[in-house]
């Protein structure tokens, strides 16, 4: 036991009482994990970000752990836990809540967080992005098609018999496929054998089938024979399901990225990785373990990771405000009919002191900002409201206030809810609030004064990844749905997201003349394919062995098409993708 603290149990968590009498929670455990574990199962199951990672069959939690040094000692102690090692000192662990609390006290453990829910970035071309010019052999660019480079698509699956993923002889272009739903991996030889049996009628079903179409469409754009990197080798990861839910978990993405980079190292090939998923939970500053893992992987090998900015741009899921000492600020939240639950995240500076109240349409008032109060449960009519204030933590100097409103029967009260900030001593005053993704809410739900900035989704917030927005119909514009990011400049310090935009509106899928797709899900593989083309020019053809990571991003930005004089901006990043202009001339 820590010498300065006594310990006792409250709900399910181990809390500490300091010598001054304040309630103390282990700061190595993320706020949302603490809330989720201290919330009754019937309530937790209705909130995707709270329920993600819990396995009802064996009552265990899946967690993400950042470590320092070896875990051999810990693994010898926690023999009932399941440990999966990832690159760069990250682990995914499956264990009980009591073991999580004990793990958090071990010196090798830096921080623990739970998985979050991620969603497709689907909202409802090549010539526009200068792809065809870069492919033409007779041009000064010499013709680049991604040959010798791996394109990895981490998504909902693949139709392996689709001609887009076969070579001229009918053999697969997929070098390896991992189906997370079954845990089975397939080599290219095994895929070719399965295809032969399928054509002969010996087998009726194919592995890793994409029942949604999303993964197949993303892969066609990135690396199909009619797509961008049309001669690239392919890695496919079919993401596992989440117990029938409409989302996947951040841990599944992490395992997928780890698999793709390890395979690229095994094959000694550069790799461009595509992630067309995103979520809204987090402070959007790149400080979660998930975001840091993506950043560290970007620096691990000859890779570039491309991630969509998301489709929250014209939703009403974000609000930015400014607190002033002694003032009261009200932000109204409209909740439409038939919402079974909604969660609200508030992220502010820890040095800014303010009382935050949630006021229901029927007048009930709840304080949700009490520090050191643990997880607080309120009951109003047919609703349970669970809240907790937390922070600062090891990787974030701010404070999070999280509140989930869940109907215990029927639906939560519709109408105008008020979030009231009564500021005391304020040093900075800036804060953000986020709701769940717009795709999960009714059209009537959202902030009445939404802020379009900071609507980019996680993990597109990762600093070293290439964050991709969608072009609008007008030249030099961004699609209205495309998430807005951030543009921070101070001397040589520059943090701008998105990095670049690409075609993402009414993209016609090759081989299916009747279908078009829209969303940053489909702008992202344009850039992933472009990254593979630059890698071929640089690494495979021997022009630049360091054409990956931040250098590759810089070349894409340098070649982008720009209309106007102010760059970067929060909607268009550094401009529109132009592959040909990004490849240095001979």
What is the rounded CA–CA span in Å between residue 299 and residue 303?
8
Closest of 439, 465, 462 to residue 528, by C-alpha: 465
**Catalytic member of 155, 179, 258, 352:** 155
**Catalytic member of 13, 214, 284, 318:** 214
What SS3 class is residue 247? coil
- Write a three-state SS string for 267-309: HCCCEEEEECEEECCCCCCCCCHHHHHHHHHHCCCCEEEEEEC
Q: Which of 504-520 are b and which e, b meaning 16 or more Cβ less than 10 Å from the residue's Cβ?
A: bbebebbeeeeeebbbb
What is the rounded CA–CA span in Å between residue 399 and residue 351?
9
What SS3 class is residue 417? strand
Number of neighbours of residue 96 by Cβ within 10 angstroms: 15
**Catalytic member of 387, 521, 570, 582:** 521
The token pair that represents 293 in the structure block: 């893992």
What SS3 class is residue 340? coil
Beta strand pairing call for 354-359 and 415-423: antiparallel
521 has catalytic annotation: yes
2 has catalytic annotation: no
Closest of 558, 486, 539 to residue 264, by C-alpha: 539
Residues 6+ apart with CB under 8 A from 352: 323, 423, 425, 426, 427, 428, 429, 431
What is the rounded CA–CA span in Å between residue 354 and residue 375?
18
Per-residue DSSP letter, 534: H
Please, what is the end-to-end C-alpha distance for the chain in angstroms?
Answer: 66
Q: Rounded to the nearest 5°, which phi and psi values hold at 82?
A: -105, 120
Q: Rounded to the nearest 5°, which phi and psi values hold at 539?
A: -85, -50
Which residue is associated with the tokens 């939240």?
333
What is the rounded CA–CA span in Å between residue 245 and residue 574?
36
296 has catalytic annotation: no
The token pair that represents 512 in the structure block: 């299916």
How many angstroms separate the Cα of 435 from the Cα of each of 247, 376, 403, 405, 470?
16, 20, 10, 12, 22
Q: Following DSSP, what letter does each residue of 29-76 receive, concatenated?
A: B-HHHHHHHTS-HHHHTTSHHHHTTEETTTTEEEEEEEESS--HHHHH
CA angle 225, 229, 231 (to 5 degrees): 60
Extract the runs of DSSP E, i.e. beta strands, from 317-397: 318-322, 328-335, 341-349, 354-359, 365-367, 376-380, 383-390
How many angstroms separate the Cα of 488 from the Cα of each of 349, 398, 459, 569?
17, 18, 18, 10
Q: Following DSSP, what letter does each residue of 184-246 receive, concatenated?
A: EEEEHHHHHHHHHHHHTTS-S--TT--SSSHHHHHHHHHHSTTSSSTT-EEEEEEPPP-TT-S
Closest of 127, 129, 144, 140 to residue 533, by C-alpha: 144
Catalytic residue ranges:
155, 214, 521
């Amino acid at each position: 036991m820590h010498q300065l603290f006594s310990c006792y149990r409250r709900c399910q968590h181990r809390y500490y009482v300091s010598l001054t009498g304040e309630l103390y929670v282990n700061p190595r455990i993320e706020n949302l994990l603490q809330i989720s574990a201290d919330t009754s199962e019937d309530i937790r199951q209705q909130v995707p970000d709270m329920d993600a990672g819990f396995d009802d069959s064996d009552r265990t939690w899946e967690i993400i752990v950042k470590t320092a040094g070896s875990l051999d000692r810990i693994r010898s102690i926690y023999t009932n836990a399941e440990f999966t090692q990832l690159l760069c000192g990250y682990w995914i662990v499956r264990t009980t809540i009591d073991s999580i609390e004990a793990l958090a006290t071990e010196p090798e453990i830096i921080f623990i967080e739970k998985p979050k829910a991620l969603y497709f970035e689907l909202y409802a071309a090549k010539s526009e992005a200068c792809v065809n010019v870069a492919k033409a052999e007779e041009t000064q660019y010499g013709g680049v098609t991604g040959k010798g480079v791996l394109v990895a698509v981490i998504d909902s699956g693949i139709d392996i018999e689709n001609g887009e993923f076969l070579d001229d002889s009918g053999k697969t272009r997929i070098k390896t496929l991992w189906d997370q739903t079954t845990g089975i991996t397939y080599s290219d030889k095994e895929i070719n054998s399965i295809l032969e049996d399928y054509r002969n009628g010996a087998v009726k079903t194919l592995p890793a089938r994409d029942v949604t179409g999303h993964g197949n469409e993303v892969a066609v754009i990135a690396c199909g024979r009619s797509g961008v990197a049309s001669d690239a080798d392919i890695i496919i990861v079919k993401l596992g399901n989440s117990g029938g839910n409409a989302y996947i978990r951040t841990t599944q993405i992490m395992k997928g990225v780890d698999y793709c980079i390890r395979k690229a190292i095994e094959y000694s090939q550069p790799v461009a990785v595509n992630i067309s998923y995103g979520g809204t939970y987090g402070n959007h500053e790149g400080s979660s373990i998930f975001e840091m893992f993506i950043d560290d992987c970007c620096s691990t090998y000859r890779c570039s990771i491309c991630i969509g900015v998301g489709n929250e741009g014209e939703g009403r899921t974000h609000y930015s405000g400014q607190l002033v000492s002694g003032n009261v600020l009200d932000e109204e939240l409209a909740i439409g009919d038939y919402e079974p639950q909604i969660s609200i995240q508030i992220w502010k500076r820890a040095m800014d002191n303010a009382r935050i109240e949630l006021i229901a349409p029927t007048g009930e008032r709840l304080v949700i900002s009490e520090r050191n109060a643990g997880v607080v449960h309120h009951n109003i009519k047919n609703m349970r409201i669970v809240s907790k204030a937390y922070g600062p933590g090891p990787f974030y100097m701010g404070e999070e206030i999280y509140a989930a409103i869940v109907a215990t029967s029927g639906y939560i009260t519709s109408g105008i809810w008020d979030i009231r900030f009564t500021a005391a001593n304020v040093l900075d005053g800036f804060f953000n609030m986020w709701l769940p993704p717009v795709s999960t809410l009714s059209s009537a739900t959202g902030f009445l004064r939404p802020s379009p900035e900071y609507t980019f989704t996680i993990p597109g917030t990762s600093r070293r990844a290439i964050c991709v927005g969608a072009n609008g119909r007008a030249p030099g514009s961004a699609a209205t749905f495309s998430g807005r990011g951030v543009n921070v400049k101070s001397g040589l310090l520059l943090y701008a997201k998105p990095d670049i935009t690409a075609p993402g509106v009414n993209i016609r899928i090759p081989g299916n003349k009747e279908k078009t797709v829209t969303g940053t899900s489909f702008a992202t593989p344009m850039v992933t394919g472009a990254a593979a083309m630059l890698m071929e020019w640089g690494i495979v053809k021997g022009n630049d062995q360091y054409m990956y990571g931040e250098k590759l991003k810089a070349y894409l930005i340098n070649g982008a098409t720009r209309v106007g004089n102010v760059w970067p901006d929060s909607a268009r990043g550094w401009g529109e993708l132009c592959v040909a202009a990004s490849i240095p001339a001979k």
